[in-house]
Amino acid sequence: MRYAGYLVYSMLMLTGATVAEFRGWTMSKVDQVKNVPKTVRDNPGAYRSHYAFYPRYVGGK
């Protein structure tokens, strides 16, 4: 079949997008952390965020 390759490729793209959407995958930069201590609830400052030292933009034109 003349377009078999493109059809298979297209179906893979469609299936991939559907599965990714259904599973709730994203391309966002989000880290998963295990076993956060329950004390954070009472002492939020005790938690050290992975993004605490992320470079900030302080620009403007």
Partner 1 sequence: MSSPLVAPPVAKTKAMYCPNCGGPVEFRGFGHALTVVCPQCLSVLDASSPLLKIVQQAQDAQSRRTPQIPLGTRGTWLGTKWECIGFQTRGVEEEGVVYEWEEYLLFNPYAGFRYLTCYQGHWNWVAPVESLPERRTSGTRPAVYFEGNLYRHFSGAEAKTVFVLGEFPWRVKVDDTVVADDFVHPPLVMSSETTSDEVTWSLGTYTPGADIWKAFNLPGSAPKPIGVYLNQPSPFKGKVAGSWGIFGLMLMMLFVIAVGFAIVSHSETVLDEHYKYSTADRGEPSFVTKTFEISGRTANAELTISTNLTNNWAYFSLALINETTGDAFDFGREVSYYTGYDSDGSWSEGSQSSSATIPHVPPGRYYLRVEPEMEGSEQPPAKPAPASGARRLIPVKANTVYYEIVLKHGVTGFGWFLLAGFLLLIPPIISTIRAATFETRRWATSDYPPTSGGGD
Cα 18 from Cα 21, distance rounded (Å): 5
**C-beta of residue 31 within 8 angstroms of C-beta of residue 50:** yes
List of residues 6+ apart from 49 with CB closer than 8 A: none
Q: In angstroms, give the least distance from the CB of 37 to partner 1.
A: 7
- Of residues 2-61, which lie at the interface with partner 1 (CB under 8 A)? 2-3, 6-7, 9-10, 13-14, 16-18, 20-38, 40-41, 44-45, 47, 49-52, 54, 56-61
3-state secondary structure of 44: helix
Q: Which residues bind partner 1 (CB under 8 A)?
A: 2-3, 6-7, 9-10, 13-14, 16-18, 20-38, 40-41, 44-45, 47, 49-52, 54, 56-61
